Chains A and B, each alone.
Chain A
Amino acid sequence: MASNQQVKLLGVKGSPFVARAEIALKLKGVQYEFIHESLSNKSDLLLKNNPVHKKVPVLLHNDKPVCESLVIVEYIDEAWTGSTILPSDPYHRAQARFWSKFVDDKVFPAVFKAATNPNEKEREQGGEELRESLKILENELKGKFFNGDSIGLVDIAALFIAFWLPIIQEAVGLDLYNSEKYPKLDKWGQEIMNHHVVKEVLPDRDPLLAFFKGRFRSNTPSK
C-alpha cells in the first residue's frame, strides 16, 4: 500500500512514547528518517505539525502528520502490511486497546507521582497505585508476551515498565517494581528487551539514568 513513501519521525531518543513509534515502524520494515527534536527548543516543524499538543512523537507520512503515540502505532499497523501489531479479531483488538490505555492512564501517572511528587504522602499514594497496577498486569500476562508469542500493541505500550521504570527507580531510590514481587512481568521484560527490533530502538541506559537523576528529586528508598 505505501511503498517508497517519505516517512519521518520527530522525536527524542530517551522518550518511551517515541520508542513506541520507532518499534512499530521497524516491525513493519518501514524506512524512515529520525529527526531529533529539542524539547527545550521546539522546531518549527514540530510546532507546525503538532500545534495542539506540541509534543513528540510526530509521524510525518508524505508530510501528513499523525500525533499521539498509540494513534501513531495503530496508523502504522493499518497503513503498512507486514507483521500485525494489533490482533485481527475485534474482541481481542478491544482488549489490546484496553490494556495499552491502562498502561497510559494508570501506570505512567503512578510512577511519576511516586517518583516526583514533592509531598511525601502523595508519593506513598503513588507507590500504592503503582503496586496495584503492576499486580493487575502481572495477573493479566498469560504467555510469553501480552500479545501471545509475538509482541503486539500492549507489549509496545508497556515497554516503559521493562526499561524505563527500573532506571527511574534507581534514579530516585525506589524499589516498587522488582523480580521478586512481579516474576512474570520481570521475565516478560527480559524477553521484550531482547527482541531484535526493540534492542535497536532502546536508548543507552547511563545517559537516561543521569537525566532522571538530574530531573527528579531523590527520595528515601521505599518497598
Chain B
Amino acid sequence: MGDEVILLGYWPSQYGMRARIAVEEKGIQYEYKEEDAFNYNKSPLLLEMNPVHKKTPVLVHNGKPICESLIVIEYIDEVWNHKSPLLPSDPYDRAQARFWADFVHRKVYDAAKRIWTTKGEEREGEKNEFIECMKLLEQQLGEKPYFGGDSLGFVDVAFVPFYSWFQVYEKFGNFNMEAECPNIIAWAKRCLQKQSVANTLPDQHKVYDLAIWIRKKLGIE
C-alpha cells in the first residue's frame, strides 16, 4: 500500500498501549518511536506533530498526525477496515462501545491515577471508586469473552492497558484485584493471549518500579 506509519509512544502509558495494540491487531507495518515523556524530553517530531497537547500517543500516517488514543483507534479502524474490526457495524452498538470506552478513559483513569498519587482517606475513597468501576465493567462484560463479543473490540483495547498497572493500584490501594473482580482478571489474561496485547503491555513489576520512582520525584509520600 506504500503507507508510512509511525507511532510515537511512551512505554508505561496506557494511552500509548491502546494505539499500539490497535496497530498490531490490524497487522500494520509501522515504526515505533519511544518518547522520554516523564523527563519532559520531548522529541522535535512529537512537538511538531502534537503542538496542542505535546503528548503521546501520536500516529503519523504518511506525514499526517492523529492524536488522542481513542481517536487514533477509531482512525485506524476506519482506514484499515479490511480486517479485525474494532468497532461494531451497527450504530447503536457503536454508541455503546464509545460510551464504555469514554467511561474507561475518564472515570476509571482518574480514580486509578489517584490511588497511587494520593494518600490516606482520599486514597481510600479513590480505591473504592475504582473498584466500583471495575464491578460495573464486569457487569458490562457479562458472559462474553471480550467486551467486543467474540473478538477484541474498542472497549477491550481501551481498557486492557490498565492491566499492566494493576499491581500499582493493588499495592498502593491495599486490595486484591482477583478477589474484588475475578472476571476482569480472567478477561485480561484472555486478552494477553493475543499477540497484539502480549507484545504491547509492559511487565507489571517494571510499571510498579516506575510508579515508585515517579512518586519519589514528585515528592508524594
Contacts and interface: CB of A to CB of B under 8 A. Distances in A.
Asked if A and B bind, the verdict is yes
Given A52-B103, A68-B102, A94 B71 contact: yes
Most buried by A among B75, B79, B91: B91
A68 B103 CA distance: 10
Contacts of A74: 94-95, 98
A102 interface: yes
A64 B92 contact: yes
A102 B51 CA distance: 13
Given A61-B92, A79-B91, A66 B99 contact: yes
B186 interface: no
B198 interface: no
Contacts of A94: 66, 71-72, 74-75
B99 A90 contact: no
B17 interface: no
Contact of A91 (B52, B64, B68): B64
Q: How large is the interface on A (under 10, 10 to 19, 20 to 34, 35 or more residues)?
A: 20 to 34
Given A66-B99, A71-B99, A136-B52, A90 B91 contact: no
B95 A90 contact: no
A98 B99 contact: no
B78 A78 contact: no
A90 B92 contact: no
B133 to A, nearest CB: 9
Task: Give the bracket for the number of chain B residues in contact with chain A.
Answer: 20 to 34
Contacts of B210: none
B209 to A, nearest CB: 30
A40 B201 CA distance: 44
A91 B52 CA distance: 17
Contacts of A79: 91-92
Nearest to A133: B52
Nearest to A101: B68
Given A75-B92, A78-B91, A91-B61, 18 more contacts: A52-B103, A52-B136, A68-B99, A71-B95, A71-B102, A72-B95, A74-B98, A78-B94, A79-B92, A90-B79, A91-B64, A94-B71, A94-B72, A94-B74, A94-B75, A97-B68, A98-B66, A98-B67
Interface of B: 52, 61, 64, 66-68, 71-72, 74-75, 78-79, 91-92, 94-96, 98-99, 102-103, 136
29 contacts: A52-B103, A61-B92, A66-B92, A66-B99, A67-B99, A71-B95, A71-B98, A71-B99, A71-B102, A72-B95, A74-B94, A75-B92, A75-B94, A75-B95, A79-B91, A90-B75, A91-B61, A91-B75, A94-B66, A94-B74, A94-B75, A97-B68, A98-B66, A98-B67, A98-B68, A98-B71, A101-B68, A101-B71, A136-B52
